[in-house]
Amino acid sequence: MGAGVKELEAITGGALGGWMARFRSDGRSTHSAPPPGTKCDNCETELVGHFCHACGQEASNHHKSILHVTWEAIEGMFHLDGRLWRTVPWLFVRPGRLSREYLDGKRARHVPPFRLFLVSLLLFILSAETVIHKAVHDAQHRAEHASPAAHGEAAHAKPGGGAASQASAEAAKDLQEDGVLTVGKDGTKLRFVGPSKDVLANDKAKAEWLNTQLNKAVATPGYFMAVVFGWGHRLAVFLLPILALSLAGCYFYRRKFFMYDHLIVSMNYLSFIFLLWAVVLILPRQVSEIGVLAALLWAPVNLFQTLRGVYGSNIFGAVLKTGVVWVTTQMAFVFLLLGLLWLGLSQI
């Protein structure tokens, strides 16, 4: 009877605390240490603490519930543990202290920055992909319902009225071929000096290519999005060195900070940005506008807090450097986004 109750407790709520956090906020394990003289099950080394100092295996003999096994599977994929629940809140409310502690060597209590960056980027891409898929589905649904009405209007349209368009087409043809345009009833001719035929042909070819690729993207939105998101996570990594270089430029006179330090700060800040927009993207439509406004205001404030906490800048200096880094990052994001769209169109 007692064993059954304990097993039921392990499967249900009694195991939730241990399931969600194997470590306390200070990095120490929540399970009791093995008794002195206990040997590692893996390499037979005598244990001192929760982990074997020879092979690194955890000394754990407790029975695991289904929820615990599920969490271990997720943890195995993303290498997450109880430190996540300490790191993420600090990422939003104490960004400067989070990076400062990691740079000072207090690393066991937090998720490593690059691992956090990759997980945050993945969550952002999943959220964006979900939102875009829904928008495309809704647009296709509206187009299917609107197509009968559009066909009806086209059927009732009166022919004729094409004399003006035909004249415009002929004038454009004359202007493109020899640079001479006939105007007025008296046949007055005007000669224009414009681009050469090769330049016009090249521009026409580019316009035709763009039009063709856009039509392909509209016809197969699913494949286009798959190509775009396939390149998205790769190009997003380029934001790391760009942000780090902008920080290095702002603090070039601080000799104690190296490029490694700027990269750590960049990873934490971009993790915050990706997680913030991942949440905003999945907000209900009723509050989405408020969420977007809050994110646009919160992002530079978080950067300001980061610069104050990590680099010790005064208020005026932090405001100035926040503006420089913010503008640089936004310009880089726009260029990367344009490059991402171009890659998507070129490979569709």
Query: Is the four-CA dihedral 12, 16, 22, 28 of positive or negative sign?
Result: negative
For the chain, the first-to-last Cα distance in angstroms comes to 64
In whole angstroms, what is the distance from residue 247 CA to residue 241 CA? 10
Whose structure tokens read 């690194």?
56
Rg (CA), the chain: 30
Give kind and range of the element (H or E) at residue 268.
Answer: helix 259-281
121 neighbors 274 (Cβ within 8 angstroms): yes
pLDDT tens for the chain, residues 1 to 348: 444 434 433 433 333 344 344 444 444 555 667 788 888 878 888 888 778 888 877 776 555 566 666 656 555 555 556 677 788 899 999 999 999 999 988 887 888 899 889 889 989 988 888 888 787 777 777 777 765 655 555 455 545 445 555 655 655 555 444 444 455 555 555 555 555 566 667 777 888 888 888 888 777 777 777 777 777 777 888 889 999 999 999 999 988 899 999 999 999 999 999 999 999 999 988 888 899 999 999 999 999 999 999 999 899 999 999 999 999 988 988 888 888 888 888 887
Q: Tell me what pLDDT residue 300 has.
A: 94
Whose structure tokens read 């992909």?
129
Which contacts of 313-318 are long-range, i.e. CB under 8 A and separated by 24 or more positions?
A: none
Q: Tell me what pLDDT residue 235 has.
A: 80
In whole angstroms, what is the distance from residue 119 CA to residue 125 CA? 10
20 neighbors 71 (Cβ within 8 angstroms): yes
Amino acid present at 139: A
Closest CA to 28 of 89, 84, 108, 91: 108
A 10 A CB-CB count for 61 gives 8
Closest CA to 131 of 345, 277, 240, 269: 277
Residue 47 is classified by DSSP as P
Q: Tell me what pLDDT residue 10 has.
A: 40
Give kind and range of the element (H or E) at residue 292.
Answer: helix 285-311
Q: Tell me what pLDDT residue 29 has.
A: 53
Amino acid present at 50: H
Q: Tell me what pLDDT residue 4 has.
A: 43
Q: Largest alpha-carbon pair distance within the chain?
A: 111
Q: Tell me what pLDDT residue 107 has.
A: 83
Copy the structure tokens of residue 277.
């927009």
Domain boundaries, the chain: 2-78, 113-137+197-347
Q: How far is CA 113 from CA 119, 221, 287, in A?
A: 10, 34, 31
Query: Is the four-CA dihedral 15, 20, 23, 26 of positive or negative sign?
Result: negative
- Rounded to 5 degrees, what angle do the CA atoms 65, 66, 72 make? 90
- Quick one: how far is CA 335 from the chain centroid? 15
Amino acid present at 193: V
Which contacts of 338-342 are long-range, i.e. CB under 8 A and separated by 24 or more positions?
A: 339/235, 340/228, 340/231, 340/232, 340/235, 341/228
- Helices 315-347 and 239-250: crossing angle in degrees, nearest 10, is 160
Q: Which residues contact 264 (CB under 8 A, 6 or more apart)?
A: 99, 102, 103, 113
